[in-house]
A and B are shown apart, each in its own frame.
Chain A
Amino acid sequence: MLSIENLHVSIGDKEIIKGLSLQVPAGEVHAVMGPNGAGKSTLSYTLAGRAGYEVTEGMATLDGEDLLALEPNERAAKGVFLSFQYPLEIPGVPTLTFIRAALNAQRKARGEGEVSAPAFLKLAREAAGKLKIDFDMLKRPLNVGFSGGEKKRMEILQMAMLSPRLLILDETDSGLDIDALRIVSEGVNAMRSPDRSMLVITHYQRLLDYIKPDRVHVLASGRIVASGGPELALELEAKGYDQYAKAAA
């Protein structure tokens, strides 16, 4: 499980995460909602290990292991996967080449052998089929010229193929059309399992109709200011964040 205790994160001189605590037990899906600029992406980047996100206090562990001491690629090999709010374009690197390199690098770090080319292609075809991604698209450089929604689908494809243990979805629903939202949600739901934890960051209740969370947290001004069951998301949709903005201030 993921455990975050009293986390403080600064970017430059500016403290963005200000004493955040959160537990996501194995097998559970937790939603994180909160106003723009609250620190949701900062939290996900910190968990993934982005440079420049300085942890000044607190800790974050995955199954008891200190995540914050690890390099980003080591975290990935331990099973951390962040679906980016804004996926990057990787010019000149075909999507399949990239995913295969990532998968084999993770396997190597875990002391496992490489996946054979035929086995990898089979895996890619299956995953693409489920997400209704045209297989030819995987021959194009990763995300270069892809639409916003296509990039998000590509994130979920990578997630499915890399089979992580901690899934962090940072606004995966934004940019998706109605059908894509359903398809992507089905892809995510298919990954629910007793040994996986998921952190789903979203602004919209609609995603949570598809991916039913066990808990919902409100992140405002760098802290978790409220937690509850799925009904909390409905309440936020109706009332907005006003009350929490005051509570956090």
Chain B
Amino acid sequence: MSLMQAIKARDASLLPSRRDEAWRYSDLRAAIREIPGASPEASRPTGPPPLVDVEADHEILVLNGRAEAKGFLAVAGAPITLRLRIVSDAEHTLHQSALTLDLEPGADLTLIETYEGQGSAYVSGFSLAISLGAGARLERIVLVDEPADAISISRSEIELQPGARLAQTVVCSGARLQRHETEVRHPGGGADVRLDGLYLLDGKRHADLTTVLAHTAPDGTTRQLTKGLAKDQARGVFQGRILVEEGADRTDARMGHHALLLNDGAEIDAKPELEIYADEVSCAHGNTVGSLDDAALFYMRSRGLPEAEARALLMQAFVGEVVDRIEHDGARAAVQAWVARRLEALA
């Protein structure tokens, strides 16, 4: 069952619900009672795109489910930056689209993928099929920053060839229901994957970062680090599954999820899973949910920092680890700036 099928059939009962294991914490069926009508065309946004300071060589705009292109092909050679801007401008309507992204062997691409919205209570669906040729390199930076009452489901399927490198950082601020899902087929053979995430939530916002990664052959590495902060009645969901298939020997995979609840009403649901059917595998996962350290906060305040500033500094330090792993200098600086602004709301 999926959003696409339900939309096609115009039947909300086909939507995934918490009775489906993969949607246990993000009940789409409960959030969408009836399939809304299709979103009309919208005019191009006049404001600057999110992460505007990152210089891009190419841009693809997706506006209310209408994409300027069917896909993008990155050719081998000099590094390229592509901005993929997914914009919703709708009221109580639905739109969706799909795109392909292909990297030739040896291509080097930085993808700045942003989700933004105007209007309210829209449903947005987006899917991306990505393939990386041998030795290609993709750094994907995703920022999902939408209105609090939006429903936004995005999903990507990523295939890599041996020797390729994928580095992904998803940063999101939640919405009524926001889910970003990544499925990776890892070919081993020296291919290297980094799958990071960060959710910064307040109000009644809900964000779900779900990843499914399968090591299908020997000698692959995966590093995964997701961090999150939840304030008010916000709810953060992390589902990370790493599957090491039979024969995927000498796989080296690490998964960490660490979150802080900023007050009592907030909630974090985490489901880290490692499933191993291969030999000589080095795998580890860690999962912690805590709160800001009161003793540390008092110490900081006793040195003169107002409470909000002390909290912001501790939160910044906590999430900084994820942001610091972004390799593209311009993107890292832009995400840092976005995170700093977002933390002001959470402090």
Residues of chain A touching chain B, judged by Cβ–Cβ distance below 8 Å, are: 48-51, 71-73, 75-77, 80-82, 84, 87-93, 97-99, 101-103, 105-106, 109, 141, 158, 162
Contacts and interface: CB of A to CB of B under 8 A. Distances in A.
Given A72-B301, A73-B301, A76-B301, A93 B314 contact: yes
B172 to A, nearest CB: 21
B57 interface: no
Contacts of B2: none
A144 to B, nearest CB: 10
Contacts of B302: 48-50, 72-73, 75-76, 80-82, 84
A97 B317 CA distance: 11
Contacts of B20: none
A151 to B, nearest CB: 11
Interface in B291-308: 293-296, 298-307
Given A76-B303, A105-B305, 9 more contacts: A48-B298, A51-B298, A71-B306, A82-B302, A93-B314, A98-B313, A99-B303, A101-B309, A105-B306
Interface residues of B, number: 23
16 contacts: A49-B298, A73-B301, A73-B304, A75-B302, A76-B302, A81-B302, A84-B299, A88-B293, A88-B299, A90-B314, A90-B317, A92-B316, A93-B313, A93-B317, A101-B309, A141-B317
A99 B305 CA distance: 10
A101 to B, nearest CB: 6
Interface of B: 293-296, 298-307, 309-310, 313-314, 316-318, 320-321
A101 B296 CA distance: 15
Given A101-B305, A101-B309, A105-B305, A92 B295 contact: no
A14 B172 CA distance: 46
Given A72-B298, A105-B309, A162 B304 contact: yes
Given A90-B317, A92-B321, A93-B317, A102 B305 contact: yes
A158 B293 CA distance: 21
